[in-house]
Amino acid sequence: MQNHNQFVRTLNRFGLGSLTSERSRLIAALSAFLATWTINLACADAVRLPVASVSASANDGNVPANTQDGSLSTRWSANGDGQWIQFKLASPATVSAVRIAWYKGNERKSLFDVQTSATGSSWSTLFTGLTTGSTLGPESCDVADSTGQFVRIVGHGNSVNLWNSITEVEIFGTSSGSSGGTSNVPQPKTTAGLPSSVLSLADWKLTSPVDTSHAGSPDEILQPELNTFQDTKYFHVNSARNGVVFNAPCGGATTSGSGYPRSELREMINNGSATAGWSTTSGTHTMEITQAITHLPDVKPHVVAGQIHDAGDDVIVFRLEGTKLFVDQNGNNGPVLTTSYRLGDVFTVKFVAHNGGVECYYNGQYIYTYKVSASGCYFKAGCYTQSNTSKGDSATAYGEVVIYSVKITHQ
């Protein structure tokens, strides 16, 4: 494969050139290799596509969701020729490349077919690959820009005992629409000049990381002003014109209840004329965000990118610390979504608050329910940088989030 020599050099550097045991050390070697591995994508504008769900023809207890958890120490595995694992994308997309990492064992060969489908029933085979060698093996296969919402990898078993064992799968391409009412990474909107032309901002207000003579401390942009508002530094449309950039510098102005700056939307009601307030014990309240975290502060690289707040404090947030993307429960660590988040990767998260709890979803997969009774609640979305100059960061260090879509429903 194209990057084989680089992988071998990485193995040798870890002293693993001839090692056939101690799998944890092999994983460390592969992790270091993947950190520097770039894929020659067929489409220069391709991004990692969010996966809504994963299924498989069979498994031996190593479930298919393990291929999306960001960990090379977990895997999907099943025995036999023709066993498959299937990925449903968050929306229809033009698939340009698929990256697969799997355990090959000692001098084994593995044959995989990569297929796409619009419906999940009729499949087109776009790639067949054969590899040799030992240890974990990553592969990148460019495919012929096939449009669909389903990607399937069919395994024909390794050459020793017909086991298929895949540790991680990443799918790259460009979104071509929406499905089920959820828009994910839309195609570039060439006429989009204002954030309101990308996101529906009717029931939001913006808290800015600056404090000027404008109303609010720091500045708050309410409707109807928000419809025509942009800030070239802190709140603007990205260069692809398909997302809104939220930027909050570590030296930015802060609200009275926090020492950290934010460029963040706060949920409102009645076309932005009044503040929202609801309870986790009454009704069903949902927020889904498709976004990418694109920059972190240098010294304390922490950012919050979506939260539920109640009348007094944070209830639950999606938070990135370095490469660890996880759920934070008012200062207490909740489930880890991935330990290997890469800046710029697009992902979808969702909160569903009802029945005295908050359900959390990541790329379409249910993660867990945080049991909590809270009132006066509202959603927030954007960039809430979790650092300031007292933490050692410079005033110009910053966090940044790009939001491609955000949707709220109340029932």
| 73-121 pLDDT tens trace | 788 999 999 999 999 887 788 887 777 777 655 556 778 888 888 888 7
Q: Is 102 in contact with 136 (CB distance < 8 Å)?
A: yes
Domain spans, the chain? 42-175, 188-410
Q: Give the fold, CATH level 3, of 188-410.
A: Jelly Rolls (2.60.120)
Nearest to 84 by CA among 55, 110, 43: 55
Q: Are strands 204-207 and 262-269 parallel, antiparallel or unpaired?
A: antiparallel
Tell me the CA distances in angstroms from 45 to 185, 211, 326, 343, one per residue in order. 12, 36, 27, 16
Instruction: Record the tokens describing residue 15, joined without a space.
Output: 């002293």
Lowest-pLDDT choice from 23-27, 166-170, 269-273: 23-27
pTM for the model stands at 0.60
Widest CA span in the chain: 72
| Cα 140 to Cα 271: distance, rounded to the nearest angstrom | 47
What pLDDT does 162 receive? 84
Task: Look over the chain and give the mean of its residue pLDDT values, rounded to a whole number.
Answer: 82
Tracing tokens 């050139």 back to the chain, one arrives at 17
Banded model confidence at residue 306, pLDDT cuts 50, 70, 90: very high
pLDDT at 292 over 60: yes
Q: Alpha-carbon distance 274 to 50, whole Å? A: 34
pLDDT in tens, 5-64: 444 444 444 444 444 444 455 545 444 444 433 334 334 456 778 887 889 999 998 899
The span from the CA of 85 to the CA of 394, in Å, is 46
Average pLDDT estimate for 383-409? 96
Q: Considering the domain 42-175, what is its CATH architecture?
A: Sandwich (2.60)
pLDDT digits (tens, 9 = 90+) for 316-338: 999 999 999 999 998 899 999 99
Confidence band of 131 (pLDDT split at 50, 70, 90): low
